[in-house]
C-alpha cells in the first residue's frame, strides 16, 4: 500500500469513528455516588466509646476533601448530617461557620481521658484544621465534648455528596473519615 493509500485509509477510518485521538484530562474521573443524606452507625455500635479523640486533621484529594478524626482505641459511633445551623450540645448555641452549607459531626467518643484531662485541644477551636485553599471545605470548628459526645462543625461551600467510614490504625487506634465531594 502506498503512502497516499495509507493516508486515505486513515482519514476514512477517522471519519467513520474507528480511530480517535486520545483526550487528556487534567481532572480525575470521580464517578462518586454518595448522596447527601444523614449517615450514622450509632444503631450498630453500642453506646459512647470511652476511647478518646486525639486529633482532627484535613486533607485534599482529587475528587473530595477529607476530614479525619483520630481516636485512641476502637472506632466510635457517629452521626453526620447537613443542618441549617450547627448547634452546640448542652447550650444549644448556634455556631456560625463559613460556607453555604454545614455538616454537624457527632462522634460518640470524648475529647478527654477518664480523669477529664483533655486529649485533644486545638490551638483555635474555630479553626481546628487548616482548610485554606481547599476546594470544598471552608471551616472546621471543634465544639467540644458533652456527655461523651464530641462535636465538630464542618462548613462547606455547598450541600455536596459525602461519605463516612471508619478505619483501623495506626497501631491500636482508629480513624473516623468524612469525605465531601468537590461536585455532584
In whole angstroms, what is the distance from residue 30 CA to residue 34 CA? 11
| 129, 109 Cβ separation under 8 angstroms | no
**CB contact set of 123 (below 8 Å; sequence gap of 6+):** none
Q: What pLDDT shows up at residue 3? A: 54
Task: From first to last of the 184 residues of the chain, give the pLDDT tens digit.
Answer: 555 555 455 444 444 444 434 444 455 568 888 999 999 998 888 778 899 999 999 999 999 999 999 999 999 999 999 999 999 888 889 999 999 999 999 999 999 999 999 999 999 999 999 999 999 999 999 999 999 999 999 999 999 999 999 999 989 999 999 999 999 8
Cell triple for 25: 484530562
Q: Which of 147, 135, 168 is nearest to 27 (CA)?
A: 135
Cell triple for 70: 483520630
Q: What pLDDT shows up at residue 31? A: 85
Q: What pLDDT shows up at residue 184? A: 87
Phi (first) and psi of residue 127, to 5 degrees: -130, 60
Q: What pLDDT shows up at residue 4? A: 57
Per-residue b or e along 70-107, where b marks 16 or more CB atoms closer than 10 Å to that residue's CB: bbbeebbbbbbebeeebbeeeeeeebebebebbbbbbb
Q: What pLDDT shows up at residue 112? A: 96
Q: What is the CA radius of gyration of the chain?
A: 23
Q: What pLDDT shows up at residue 22? A: 41
Which domains are seen in the chain, by residue range?
34-181 (2.60.40.3500)
Amino acid at each position: 500500500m502506498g503512502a497516499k493509500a495509507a493516508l486515505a485509509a486513515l482519514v476514512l477510518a477517522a471519519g467513520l469513528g474507528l480511530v480517535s485521538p486520545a483526550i487528556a484530562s487534567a481532572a480525575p474521573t470521580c464517578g462518586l455516588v454518595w448522596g447527601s443524606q444523614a449517615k450514622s452507625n450509632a444503631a450498630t455500635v453500642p453506646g459512647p466509646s470511652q476511647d478518646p479523640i486525639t486529633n482532627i486533621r484535613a486533607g485534599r484529594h482529587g475528587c473530595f476533601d477529607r476530614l479525619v478524626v483520630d481516636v485512641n482505641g476502637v472506632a466510635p459511633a457517629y452521626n453526620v448530617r447537613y443542618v441549617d445551623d450547627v448547634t452546640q450540645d448542652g447550650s444549644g448555641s448556634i455556631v456560625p461557620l463559613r460556607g453555604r452549607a454545614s455538616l454537624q459531626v457527632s462522634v460518640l467518643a470524648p475529647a478527654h481521658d477518664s480523669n477529664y484531662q483533655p486529649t485533644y485541644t486545638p490551638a483555635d477551636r474555630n479553626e481546628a484544621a487548616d482548610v485554606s485553599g481547599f476546594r470544598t471545605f471552608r471551616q472546621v470548628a471543634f465544639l467540644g465534648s458533652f456527655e461523651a459526645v464530641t462535636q465538630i462543625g464542618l462548613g462547606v461551600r455547598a450541600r455536596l455528596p459525602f461519605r463516612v467510614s471508619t478505619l483501623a490504625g495506626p497501631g491500636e487506634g482508629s480513624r473516623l473519615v468524612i469525605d465531601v465531594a468537590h461536585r455532584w
